Structure 1
């Protein structure tokens, strides 16, 4: 408990020093946190968390952050099965609930950003796709995320709102896999997050559609009960919610909570 409280105090000190600065103030005054930190995070957070992780390490030279990205539902199952990790960042409250209901959260999960779907298509949109109804064209190959994955659940909700039925040629286990099908030319379109389309903007275009506004995903984050490094975990969760980290996330296309 003393270690955890110390980590929280350190994190708050780090946040108070951040302000609007692009570089976080070190949270390791006096070497309060150190060691390895393992973060399990939704695949759609890859680019943003890679940057945030480097900034956190720069501010805390004694800490080494390791990320494991994937579909949130699969990561939640890993945690409830006993996989060692310090922090979990999910792409939906439903997948976070799997962890909290199992008693594996170290505190209350906090929503730190939101994300919205777009239709990812090849650069230049050669098929002329304008909205969800176009995806019903039998000549088009469409990729979706599996329903148990947050991007798949959001896609299902958006399609239902539009009263559109799409028959995908593949159901992927995370959003990056769905996006890769478009990048490789294996499908004509995929429903992915706006952030993923933006990260791959040299290869794909993201087509906005109005029904996505009713299927926005909240992203919660929490420290884990069995965290090997609870002090660093608390500091990282606090930093993810700080101004500099939020700037990275917003620049990537995420929305404020």
Structure 2
């Protein structure tokens, strides 16, 4: 059963230089329990697709046409209040630069319990217990709940962000470049945490990345995005053995020779377009 179904989605940005079509007729299905890797070079529309799904496009962006259904609900027809409830509870996201999203002047545990109480309706004692359980789940010492973000390493911050994303037991987790800012060893540790959580919680995951090695480690299926379109969809094993689309084949050559498998930024940044 498809937990997420997207049909012919088109998203534009209005910029000083005119209209930019960031997502151009994307269709995809994400099945319950699937771990999909959405891969493509920077600027191809991956992050815009995520923002469209959860309805957080910047002011200069808008959905032109298409359909986004989550568990049969048409997200584009939901009232804003219902969409806000859906975020965190049913669809959780780990955005780009998510480590910077932690409030620097508030203890991490306070931020987590506030999320549980405000978004999840937890009482104070129950929120505290849930926060302890979440830190245990992502491999963080529960004493860290009393610490501030600046007292966390990069890997610890990312574990805390993952704990927050999973706090309300969402059905779908969408992670956008979850390990990009981390060194190789810490990347591996965080990906191992995600892989274990996928199994333990039976999570459905869409992992957005420009790093093909990340997809190889944690995903069972692959969608390749280029110039705002999905150009190939395949199970992970046959994709890595023999990609069908010429661009997909080129990914392995474009990947940098550092061992990370990251695609070069040849088309510019989506962030610049989002800012207009």
> What is the TM-score normalised by the length of structure 2?
0.27
- Tell me which protein shows more strand as a share of its residues: 2
> What is the TM-score normalised by the length of structure 1?
0.28
